[in-house]
Structure 1
Amino acid sequence: MADLSTDFVGIKSPNPFWLASAPPTDKAYNVERAFEAGWGGVVWKTLGEDPAAVNVSSRYSAIYDSYGEVSGFNNIELITDRSLEINLREIEAVKKSWPDRALVVSLMVPCEENAWKTIVKEVEKTGADGLELNFGCPHGMPERGMGAAVGQVPEYVEQVTRWCKQYSKLPVIVKLTPNITDIRYSARAANRGGADAVSLINTINSITGIDLDQMTARPIVDGKSTHGGYCGPAVKPIALNMVSEIARDPETQRLPISGIGGISNWRDAAEFISLGAGCVQVCTAAMVYGFRIVKEMQDGLNNWMDSKGYERLTDFQGLAVPNTTDWKYLNMNYKVVADIDQDKCIGCGRCYIGCEDTSHQAIELTPQADGTNRFDIIEEECVGCNLCQITCPVEDCITMVQKDTDKPYMNWTQDERNPFKDVS
């Protein structure tokens, strides 16, 4: 069986599955239940200065897929609404009871040196394993000059990170906001400030939907609403891209990453790790399905690693990074075309409709004597866009087949069709 243990910037855990800073990690009761279920670590819900934050009711809304499952989750909840003293006392107790689990504490205080100095010193006394600086919360806190209001300004990210490294001996993880034009700028700033690692992504500014009877966005608070933080499976593609941007950027490629964003199963975790993440953080899946989903995650990752011959996570960590590049370096002479397995085709015509209406008219429809239709690829018209394969409801009925072009590798910077080819 594969070894799932991790050593992330000196923070050890029995597996890479951590609970993200969120409602599931708000108190000792939740965290201990999580550890009993098998989670390798937690990031305690964000602490702030007293008096504690005050939340509203209601706080959550969601987007559902065609099967009724939550695909996107929105919240307008703030940082912990319990006192700093209670949180610190519980953190210390939990860490003593569970010394083999990772316990990182999320923090958010005003952008003042003394405020950060004070709170990191208090957290150090608890025996916690590390700090996570919450520079990503997109609602409620930015209006107070915290959260995303810091994360969107690289100079602030660098300064606060440097303060925390100056006043604490604990590993410092900087949690980045996705509500920014280019994630690399804030990651570079964290790196310059001395961060031991970054975690990403935090939630995305969102309104999940409108109640058309009340004409109010959800969640509704006494007839009004506001934008919140979006997470869940729907944000995974955005998170993977941002993780890859940091992992392959020359200035941050050696900066450890804790991956966050829509991780719901072992495969999601493996994808983040393949792009360089050293551990992953989960929130929405635990809130929707409960803490025991971590057992399925561990078993699935173990089985997959065994099937691939990977003995430890580092065996495949980052392997997808070299294969992720800029569009301009992709091979212009590489060609694939679609192929339909007639034995598997059920004649639904979805591939034909999609291609005929919205793509390249590369599928031919031929009526059959029995009243059914046959669909065939017109190879000379097929551009290999994958649309037919995506719309087909039958697994492996449509595959993309590579065609030999007898041409060498050539990217867009070398292509004669590029009007800027010779511009330095």
Structure 2
Amino acid sequence: MQAKALNEFSAKNESDGCLLCYTASCTTSCPHGLDPAKVIRSLRFENIRGAEELVGESVVCQDCAEKSCTKACIKSKVDRPVRIPELMQYVRSCRKEKGLLKAARVDLGIKFCGVPCENPFFLSSSVVASNYEMVARAFQLGWAGAAFKTIGTFVPQEVSPRFATIRKEGTSFIGFKNIEQISDHTLEENLTYLHRLKQEFPHKVLIASILGQNEDEWTFLARRVTEAGVDIIECNFSCPHMTGEGLGSDVGQNPELVALYTEATRKGTHLPILAKMTPNIGNMEIPAMAAMKNGATGIAAINTIKSIMNIHLDDFSSEPQVDGKSCVGGYSGKTVKPIALRFIHDLKKHPDLKDVPISGMGGIETWRDAAEFLTLGCTNLQVTTSVMQYGYRLIDDLKDGLSSYLGEKGFSSVREMVGAALPNLVPADRLNRHSISYPKFERKQCLGCGRCYLSCLDGGHQALVMDEAAGKPILAPQKCVGCQLCMVVCPVGAISSGKRVEV
């Protein structure tokens, strides 16, 4: 019996369920030399065009009797294997139905703080960029630059363990907490790493993140990393869990200290300086302006958010649990993206900061996430948490997806889309409050699960009634206010935004 074809909804569920193995047995076992693991990875990271081009015109999956990929899938050890042949056929059908031709690729080169970058994607200052071998491997795979893990004059004593996550349904994690401090290598070791990286990768961009304990240290560290040959210096004013007083986010919340330490850093270098901002504050514009007035070239935003991940109700401990205790730490991952975008929007909307170069970070996982940061005015992007989850290989779909999107939209460069969304974000009192956009229901696509009905009944305006015969909801327009909660909760996208009506 022929397997049921996958639609967009089921294909997403299948790709989301893939374990994204390091050495994928589905690929190594394929008798036709295809790379289903890469196809699924591209689907997972929303690079549908890249997935389509990998599948190409091949029809071998449809006629393959061996199904070696499915038999080799290690997810079968958990529940059932991923429906790999069906996923491959789904991708091919997308290509055929849409009549897609090979997408024009747009060069991703862009200047940031006057420094040419081959693409906007950098590793952010963290464990993912903490020694020579790691950064060198990332450069070889296509990352344009890296902000090396923060360097100080001291080596901190770290704890074990130091990470915790928050999960939702089938997702391994959507939020991530760390209580890790700055580099655990000595200053001289780190300077050696930086120098070697610039010698061996002269066309890659190296940012040295530094953290001093007083003015003299900020000047000293700036001078030493400049001598090592880096391209940009980033001042870490924002680590949320440093153990010393007056370090990290304690600085970023104090505009006077930001001004003082930015000025001290400027005394030690001629290079561009980024001030890395803390989100643990109401108005980021205030310390950002203090940095810019005292020698900074640009802003990096955002660092992690102060957080407590959870409480275990059996013993009332929290994670990460260090010998039974925990502490406030830094929260990152996909779920902080809306917060990061808000802060970047605020910076770019401020008249004194609108032309300031911004390196954006916070929840970038796919090329779409990255594009959103660009449309709010960023000209550089930094990534950590998704690399920790998926590895440096993420760069393939970040670059390919963004490049394809630019080509499809008719852009000739990344720079053309920078800031494109800012005019559409306005103060709340300027929104249209004299019309309603009613939801539009696709009856054939509706499964009859009743999620929209429940949400409207208990969290909306009781504007849906259930057609008991059909088992599907019907809109009561006289009660509907157009909030579109129903559209938000629909699991299969059967509800869309309808025509706007004046009221």
Partner of 2:497: 400
Quote the offset at 1:400 in angstroms.
1.3
The reply on whether 1:71 has 2:168 as its aligned counterpart is no
Q: Does the residue aligned with 1:269 lie in a helix, a strand or coil?
A: helix
Q: CA deviation at 1:394?
A: 1.4
TM-fit CA distance, 1:156: 1.2
Q: Residue 480 of structure 2 aligns with which residue?
A: 382
Q: Which residue of 1 aligns with 2:109?
A: 5
Q: CA deviation at 1:145?
A: 1.1
Normalised by the size of structure 2, how large is the TM-score? 0.78
Q: Give 5+ residue unaligned stretches, structure 2.
A: 1-104
1:94 aligns with 2:197: yes
Alpha-carbon distance between aligned partners in 1 of 2:312 and 2:456, rounded to the nearest angstrom? 35
**Cα displacement (A) at 1:403:** 2.5
1:19 paired with 2:123, answer: yes
CA contact (8 A) 1:12 1:101 kept: no
Query: Is the contact between residue 339 and residue 377 of structure 1 (CA under 8 Å) also seen in structure 2?
Result: no
Are 1:298 and 2:399 matched, yes or no?
Answer: yes
Q: Distance in 2 between matches of 1:151 and 1:250?
A: 21
- Name the % identity: 38
Matches within 5 A, 1:268-347: 268-347=369-448
Q: Distance in 2 between matches of 1:108 and 1:376?
A: 59
- Partner of 2:221 in structure 1? 119
User: For 1:207-257, what per-residue CA distance to the aligned partner results, in whole angstroms no more than 9, with x for missing partners?
Assistant: 111233342110111111111100000101100111111011112111111
1:137 pairs with 2:239: yes
Kept in 1, the 8 Å contact 2:437–2:497? The answer is yes
C-alpha distance in structure 2 between counterparts of 1:188 and 1:325, whole Å: 22
- Is residue 219–residue 266 contact of structure 2 (8 Å, CA) maintained in 1? no
* Comparing 4-13 and 374-383, the one that deviates more: 374-383
Asked if 1:355 is matched to 2:453, the reply is no
Aligned residues: 399
Secondary structure of the 1:394 match is coil
How far has the Cα of 1:166 moved from its partner? 3.1
- Between 9-18 and 21-30, the greater mean CA deviation after superposition: 9-18
Secondary structure of the 1:125 match is helix
Does residue 364 (structure 1) correspond to residue 470 (structure 2)? The answer is: no
**Deviation (angstroms), 1:12:** 2.1
Is there any run of 5+ residues in structure 1 with no aligned partner, and where? 407-424
Report the alpha carbon displacement of residue 374 of structure 1 after superposing the two structures with TM.
3.0
Q: Give the secondary-structure state (helix, strand or coil) at the position aligned to 1:216.
A: coil
- Does structure 1 residue 54 correspond to structure 2 residue 157? yes
Which residue in the other structure is 2:251 paired with?
Answer: 150
1:166 aligns with 2:267: yes
- C-alpha separation in 1, matches of 2:203 and 2:149: 20
SS of structure 1 residue aligned to 2:466: strand
Aligned to 1:416: none
Calculate the TM-score normalised by the size of structure 1. 0.92
Q: Which residue of 1 aligns with 2:355?
A: 254
Contact 1:63 1:73 in 2 (8 A): yes
Q: SS in structure 2 opposite 1:361?
A: coil
Quick check: which one's helix share is greater? 2
- Following TM superposition, the consecutive aligned residue runs of length 4 or more in structure 1 with deviations greater than 6 angstroms are none
Measure the CA separation in 2 of the matches of 1:277 and 1:231.
Answer: 19
Aligned to 2:306: 205
- Alpha-carbon distance, 1:367 to partner: 1.5
1:219 match: secondary structure = coil
How far did residue 347 of structure 1 move?
Answer: 1.1
Aligned residue identity for 1:24: V
* C-alpha deviation, 1:194, in angstroms: 2.8
Is residue 140 of structure 2 the alignment partner of residue 36 of structure 1?
yes
RMSD between aligned alpha carbons? 1.3
- Tell me, what secondary structure is at the counterpart of 1:338? strand
User: CA separation in 2, counterparts of 1:295 and 1:200?
Assistant: 24
Cα pair 1:214 1:223 within 8 Å, conserved:
no
